[in-house]
Amino acid sequence: QVQLVQSGAEEKKPGASVKVSCKASGYTFIDYYIHWVRQAPGQGLEWMGRINSNSGGRDYVQKFHGRITMTRDTSISTAYMELSSLRYDDTAVYYCARETNTWLDYWGQGTLVTVSS
């Protein structure tokens, strides 16, 4: 069965960086894009961008340009999202999700990133 398993919760100080992993299983990793979506406490869903798991090509939301890097390691079927220069309002649950055609059909369990001094 398709599974996306994310790395554990992180607590970071303002200005630091965080790298969240998303390990895929149950399907051919390079055949699907991986998207990243975040959700601040009590808020809605915010799309951050996606990576082509085959080519490595990326699309980022403009507001994160310069701070976000999405990568993948095809040898271990894992996608990564790194966010730098963390601010208090980056505190959120970060989700990875698989794209099938244009919809997000499988999601990771989420990774809580807390930015606190």
CB 7 within 8 A of CB 112: no
- In the bound state with other proteins, the residue whose beta carbon lies nearer, of 2 and 16, is 2
Measured in degrees and rounded to the nearest 5, phi and psi for residue 111 equal: -130, 120
Find the binder of other proteins among 31, 74, 105, 116 (CB under 8 A): 105
Token pair belonging to 67: 């701070």
Within positions 35 to 94, which residues make up the interface with other proteins, using CB under 8 A?
A: 35, 37, 44-47, 59, 61-62
Selected range binding other proteins among 13-21, 26-34, 84-92, 99-107, rule: CB under 8 A: 99-107
The answer to whether residue 103 forms part of the interface with other proteins (CB under 8 A) is yes
Q: What is the DSSP letter of 7?
A: P
CB 60 within 8 A of CB 48: yes
Question: Of 103, 90, 93, 115, whose CA–CA distance to 12 is shortest?
Answer: 115
Beta bridge partners of 107: 97
The answer to whether residue 113 forms part of the interface with other proteins (CB under 8 A) is no
Selected range binding other proteins among 7-15, 19-27, 83-91, 96-104, rule: CB under 8 A: 96-104
- In the bound state with other proteins, the residue whose beta carbon lies nearer, of 2 and 76, is 2
